[in-house]
Structure 1
Amino acid sequence: MQVHERNIMDKTAPNASTGIINGRSSNILNWDDVRFSWAYPKYKKMLGNFWTPFEINMSNDVKQFPELTKDEQNAFLKIIGLLALLDSIQTDYAGRVADYLTDSSLNALMIILAQQEVVHNHSYSYVLSSITTKDVQDATFDFWRTEPTLEKRNDFVIKGYRDFIENPTVDHLLTSIVHDIILEGLFFYSGFAFFYHLARNQKMVASSTMINYINRDEQLHVDLFIKIYKEILNEFPEYDTKEREAQVIEIFKEAAALEVEWAREVIGDKIDGLDYEDVEDYVYFYTNVRCNQLGYERPFEGYRKNPMKWIKAYEDVDMGKTDFFEQKSRQYVKVNVEDNGFDEL
């Protein structure tokens, strides 16, 4: 079944859409008259996560970056380069999906999501321009062009997105959302672990604070797409099949293999105090989390507990009270990460 774009205005349709896709809606946004009860609470949470890179003082990181080992510097730059690529793709994808969501509230959430991805990309530029030369910054943003391991990961995600963009069917939309959840809820996570490892050793704390903000945003984005995925299956139950479950599980297994390969390359046995085997288990754990959140069986036997529990101390910071890393009062109201379901199966 093809998915049709939302009308920019429909004078005879209700404000609350008649369906999540292929429905009717006036396209007037009235938060008290929307189809999905979870949309407005999600809107408030996403606004509550508001932040900008300018909030973070990079002065200590500027001094510390040259003091990192060569392997730490290399991993730092490679991971930043990867994150910049993925968030650039994500900004575009969110806009493409938004065009096909009938309800104006979901379109609004996608616009906020895309804006947050733009902020993420700005943060990578902000970090790199603070600690490196312009030549290094440019090379970091171009790393994806020549690195074979990254190319495989990129092709994996882009194919899932491109199938939907070129042929917008319900089946392709659902599959593209699975790839989105992998991008935002799995492909970042070995990179996050690296930055949190630096932070617990009092290295590059400002950069890790930035990663913490991004981490919290991405968790909200994952939850949003999970809700959309489930709503589509609720409205089109003929797509909720055992065949689709098997397909999704295989996609997650492939994604986990790609993430493990990447972690082996950038972390391996090169980073003192960060055990690659733990990172690999962490990837399998989150693969199980994400697949199960979609309502499917976990791809990997076991892996029910986070093997890197120390990361939770960084993920569960209530930024509304204090900045965990720099211990300073903050001006903005931050969402408590416990509300975002970290480490839950």
Structure 2
Amino acid sequence: MHTVSKRTLMDKTAPNRSTGIINGKSSNVLNWDDVRFPWAYPKYKKMLSNFWTPFEINMAQDIKQFPNLSEAEQDTFLKIIGLLALLDSIQTDYAGKVADYLTDSSLNALMIMLAQQEVIHNHSYSYVLSSLVSKQKQDEVFEFWRTEPILERRNDFVVRGYRDFVEQPNVEHLLKSIVFDVILEGLFFYSGFAFFYHLARNQKMVATSTMINYINRDEHIHVDLFVKIFKEILNEYPEYKKKLEPFVQQTFLQAAELEIEWARYIIGHRIDGIFINEVEDYIKFYANVRANQLGYDRPFEGYRKNPLRWIKAYEEVDLGKSDFFEQKSRQYTKVNYVDNGFDEL
């Protein structure tokens, strides 16, 4: 089994441009004009241009609306925030651990930026909660991951995949941990996102949905970054491509089952206007999208079209136009996920 070695702090005998994505040689000096992967600098510029903070979001209207949400809507709202807070906390730490083993200094830089964005995501959940509920309730929300059995099953599923890499860093465990990362950032958020966009569609909690929109945009970029890293590692260690195929299929099937279980629990038939069968199809659709992005067969037969097409209006905003949330003018480039094959497969 191939081990992976940590990147050295400085190596005078090595070139600035790394000789491999992992287990390579690099001086560890970052020169953006002399990096191994041509996609690294465009990714850096994209992540930089998407910088935001929770302070940009005016919560005044949400503060007025939250007490008027139904009991089921309030409960779902808080439980999803609790889930997202845990997942992004894990991501911050995981990104740093992966960065230690990436030889190329540009990829290390991208991981640090990714980790910073996850910190901002976690801050945004505290920002929203502190605006809407008491400190006691806020603390309770941040403890949901300890007390909700369905959350525990989902979280243990991902944490076990990460822990194997952390405790036994080798190529296979690194690749498998990236599969779990793509599931976490590219699947486990999505029923929660659908709920917040549904509220916004009904002119409820629009500021919170603006924040979710920013996070959603970041997570798309994070998934794409990890997919690129995954494929570059397979380019250097091609023997793992076939070896991981059964693992990828089984892991995505299990992940979709866990996400569907969670969606039935938090949304089910208690949120007016969201049909749980469509959310379940949406989860299977995204499981197919993510497995396909990684270069493997789709785990679910069919499910080639997004059943919640209305969500696209909430994920994509044109350059420089005041968005539908009417929160602020967003100066960033629209990414058309339909063109990228994310809406139909």
Which TM-score applies when normalising by structure 1?
A: 0.97
How far apart are the structure 2 equivalents of 1:77 and 1:71? 10
Residues 113-152 of structure 1 mapped to structure 2, 5 A cutoff: 113-152=114-153
Match of 1:309 in 2: 309
Structure 1 unmatched runs, 5+: none
- Cα offset, 1:120, TM superposition: 0.1
| 8 Å CA contact retained: 2:210, 2:327 | no
Say which is worse superposed, 116-125 or 309-318, in terms of deviation. Answer: 309-318
Identity %: 74
- In 2 relative to 1, CA 23–344 (structure 1 residues): closer, same or farther, beyond 3 Å? farther
Residues 194-343 of structure 1 mapped to structure 2, 5 A cutoff: 194-241=195-242, 243-318=243-318, 320-326=320-326, 328-330=328-330, 333-338=331-336, 341=340, 342-343=342-343
Q: Alignment partner of 2:244: what SS?
A: helix
Structure 2 unmatched runs, 5+: none
| 8 Å CA contact retained: 1:320, 1:336 | no
Q: Which amino acid aligns with 2:19?
A: T
- Cα offset, 1:327, TM superposition: 5.7
How far apart are the structure 1 equivalents of 2:164 and 2:318? 39
Q: Per-residue displacement from partner, 1:71-115 (whole Å, max 9, x unpaired)?
A: 000000000000000000000000000000000000000000000
| 8 Å CA contact retained: 1:163, 1:172 | yes
Between the two proteins, the alignment pairs up a number of residues equal to 342
Residues 131-210 of structure 1 mapped to structure 2, 5 A cutoff: 131-210=132-211
| 8 Å CA contact retained: 1:164, 1:173 | yes
| 8 Å CA contact retained: 2:206, 2:325 | yes
How large is the Cα RMSD of the aligned pairs? 1.1
How far apart are the structure 2 equivalents of 1:344 and 1:93? 31
How far apart are the structure 2 equivalents of 1:61 and 1:327? 12
How far apart are the structure 1 equivalents of 2:222 and 2:329? 26
How far apart are the structure 2 equivalents of 1:169 and 1:302? 35
- Cα offset, 1:246, TM superposition: 1.4
Q: Per-residue displacement from partner, 1:133-166 (whole Å, max 9, x unpaired)?
A: 1111100010110110000001000000000000
Q: Which amino acid aligns with 2:249?
A: I
How far apart are the structure 1 equivalents of 2:321 and 2:15? 41
Q: Alignment partner of 2:194: what SS?
A: helix
Match of 1:2 in 2: 3
Match of 1:64 in 2: 65
How far apart are the structure 2 equivalents of 1:209 and 1:77? 16
How far apart are the structure 2 equivalents of 1:308 and 1:286? 11
Q: Per-residue displacement from partner, 1:22-65 (whole Å, max 9, x unpaired)?
A: 00000000000000000000000101111000001000000000
| Alignment partner of 1:34 is 2:35 | yes
- Cα offset, 1:344, TM superposition: 5.1
Q: Alignment partner of 2:336: what SS?
A: helix
How far apart are the structure 1 equivalents of 2:241 and 2:324? 42
Q: Which amino acid aligns with 1:335?
A: T
Which TM-score applies when normalising by structure 2?
A: 0.97
How far apart are the structure 2 equivalents of 1:143 and 1:215? 22
How far apart are the structure 2 equivalents of 1:41 and 1:153? 33
Q: Which amino acid aligns with 1:193?
A: A
How far apart are the structure 1 equivalents of 2:143 and 2:165? 26
Q: Per-residue displacement from partner, 1:166-196 (whole Å, max 9, x unpaired)?
A: 0001000000000000000000000000000
| 8 Å CA contact retained: 1:315, 1:337 | no
| 8 Å CA contact retained: 2:253, 2:299 | yes
Moved over 4 A (4+): none
Say which is worse superposed, 42-51 or 310-319, in terms of deviation. Answer: 310-319
How far apart are the structure 1 equivalents of 2:327 and 2:142? 31
